[in-house]
Chains A and B, each alone.
Chain A
Amino acid sequence: MILLVHTAVRPPGPTWAVNALQVTLLVLVAAGAAAVVTMRDPVRQAVILSLYGVVLAVLFFSVQAPDVALSEITVGTVALPLLILLTLAKVRGGQD
């Protein structure tokens, strides 16, 4: 029965190709990743990381993965930069 379902629902042939929006977003993601890595100041790095998360989320959305996009926004744009900023504040608080 399962094999029947399998053959019944599989779309025929190759599905789709990359469109212009996705190419643009892929380039932006590559540029954003480079920006995150090359930024030396950790505070600015955290903010750029947050923006990079937004671009990545839009890319996921453009390839029809809204769930992954949402997870990327919550983890990459909110949670991770927030934890980094809080940790930096804690570390620097001791030095001042």
Chain B
Amino acid sequence: MRRFIGVSWLTAVYAFFYIPLLTLIVYSFNSAKFTTVWKGFTLDWYVRLFQNRQLLDAFFNSITVAVVSSIIATVIGTLGAFAVNRYRFAGRKVFFGLVHSVMMSPDIVMGISLLMLFVLMGVETGFLTLLLAHVTFCLPFVIVTVHARISGFDPAVVDAARDLGAGEFATFFRIILPMILPAVLAGWLLSFTLSLDDVIISFFVTGPEFEILPLKIYSMVRLGVKPEVNALCAILFLITLAAVALAHFLVTKESRQ
């Protein structure tokens, strides 16, 4: 009996999670334009998607921002995680506290606060402001992911490297980095996903000249359901799925070792 309740509870929640997403994917292949009644299989919407210049531009803009910001966040965040773990410096606790509070603070507050910062500094909103904002909200995720990994291993390894004459640079690149690489890659993939999917913060810090995909989707969806959007969302979902699966694989593989 208890087993029955457990299985049904799990099944119901998974159905709740996946029925809307699967419907979205199925209907991206539906040839009917206005109704959600199934009228037959088609790849038309995907073809139209690749003929839509504006959407393609927005897609490449989003990918560019996601690739660049996730790389910057990963490089800075990995160094940050190492620094927090290894060094004792003034403001360390405040820094770590702020990092955690960024992860919890509502997106909208970060969005409007960065908007005001950029406007007051006279930075024109567009690619640069998006990039800076995206690095900012990805950074804490990298720091926390990598820090969890670094604090998991024996500090004696680092001391041994130092005793054997390795400089801080060599210690980091030849000892630490190879050990934490899976966590670094996971942090990078998650940053990439986070950046690609962000709506609220980008909404405030982007400019009229630089359109990105989530905001384009948002403005299209407000005007109603369109089959091309189904196709686009299906593709984005699959990208997220691939990135998350890979990140999950990297993290679980390392913890099994």
Interaction A to B: no
